[in-house]
Amino acid sequence: DTGVSQNPRHKITKRGQNVTFRCDPISEHNRLYWYRQTLGQGPEFLTYFQNEAQLEKSRLLSDRFSAERPKGSFSTLEIQRTEQGDSAMYLCASAGGGDNQPQHFGDGTRLSIL
Amino acid sequence: KNQVEQSPQSLIILEGKNCTLQCNYTVSPFSNLRWYKQDTGRGPVSLTIMTFSENTKSNGRYTATLDADTKQSSLHITASQLSDSASYICVVSARGGYQKVTFGTGTKLQVIP
């Protein structure tokens, strides 16, 4: 399968714990995006990488959130000191070429905070 | 404020029937509009993407239209199948950086036999 891969698919943790999610994009794609989606809502943009450079961050991305893409390939999203409100689906997408190229989404990591 | 509104919020149709989903937006300056299909528990899958100069685009049984003057788009599904049951999300991008992407909340379509 050469699509976008996200791990883990599900994560259950206690409030206050740190969690880290991984995204492996389609190999030739230089653009990588993270989104958050809550039930019944559309995805909300979190951050965007072009190669290893983090070019944009949403105001939704508080200082408890950090994302990296160290070698311009896979990316990680870490949430420190998790809160109940962090419970959501975290989606990763990748794209190649220009702005009008479609984004290919992974199936997300569903985070549940107890 | 950039907004994307979709209607209806949910829809139930019989297998084999056609349906049309609506998307109204206030995003400016407009760059492109995309329709995605999202199955429950899965990531969205791109169906169509249209720029300012395009007013229709097809992908199999899916046909999207765009009226940039009235800032409206529609997604028409022909001869619906049970596998069309999903949420359909309209996404509008403004020029000037990725912060300016606005997602609709989606239309939840259920196709019943």
Predicted confidence (pLDDT) per residue in A57-111, tens digit: 888 788 999 999 998 899 999 999 999 999 999 999 998 877 677 889 999 999 9
Listed range (B4-8, B31-35, B94-98) with the worst mean pLDDT: B94-98
CB A49 within 8 A of CB A34: no
Beta bridge partners of A76: A22, A68
Residues 6+ positions from A33 with CB-CB distance below 8 Å: A45, A46, A47, A48, A49, A92, A93, A94, A95, A103, B98
Tokens of residue B32, six digits: 């492109």
Please report which confidence band the pLDDT of residue B50 belongs to, taking 50, 70 and 90 as the band edges.
very high
- Asked if A98 reaches chain B (Cβ–Cβ under 8 Å), the answer is no
- Asked if B37 reaches chain A (Cβ–Cβ under 8 Å), the answer is no
pLDDT, tens digit, 9 for 90 and up, residues A1-54: 579 999 999 999 999 999 999 999 999 899 999 999 998 888 998 999 999 999
Torsion angle of C-alpha atoms A7, A8, A9, A13, degrees rounded to 10: -150
Distance between CA atoms of A11 and B22, rounded to whole angstroms? 35
Residue B20, SS3? strand
Q: Do the chains contact at A56 and B43, CB–CB below 8 Å?
A: no
What is the per-residue pLDDT for A87? 97
What is the per-residue pLDDT for A72? 86
Residues of A in contact with B106 (CB under 8 A): 41-42
Of A97, A105, A101, the C-alpha closest to A33 is: A105
What is the per-residue pLDDT for B99? 54
With left for phi above 0 and alpha for psi between -120 and 50, is residue A59 left, alpha or beta?
alpha
Q: Do the chains contact at A105 and B105, CB–CB below 8 Å?
A: no
Query: What share of chain B has pLDDT > 90, as a percent?
Result: 77
Query: What share of chain A has pLDDT > 90, as a percent?
Result: 75
What is the per-residue pLDDT for A37? 95
pLDDT, tens digit, 9 for 90 and up, residues B70-100: 999 999 999 999 999 999 999 998 887 665 6
What is the per-residue pLDDT for A1? 53
Q: What is the mean pLDDT of residues B9-34?
A: 94
Please report which confidence band the pLDDT of residue B9 belongs to, taking 50, 70 and 90 as the band edges.
very high
- Asked if B10 reaches chain A (Cβ–Cβ under 8 Å), the answer is no
Evaluate the omega torsion of the peptide bond into residue A8 and state whether it is cis, within 30 degrees of 0.
yes
What is the per-residue pLDDT for B98? 60
What is the per-residue pLDDT for B28? 84
Residues of B in contact with A107 (CB under 8 A): 41-43
Torsion angle of C-alpha atoms A58, A22, A18, A15, degrees rounded to 10: 80
Owner of token pair 């919020």: B9
CB B58 within 8 A of CB B89: no
CB A49 within 8 A of CB A66: no
What is the per-residue pLDDT for A11? 97
What is the per-residue pLDDT for A59? 84
Q: Report which residue type is found at B77.
A: I
Q: What is the mean pLDDT of residues B15-27?
A: 96
Distance between CA atoms of B104 and B35, rounded to whole angstroms? 10
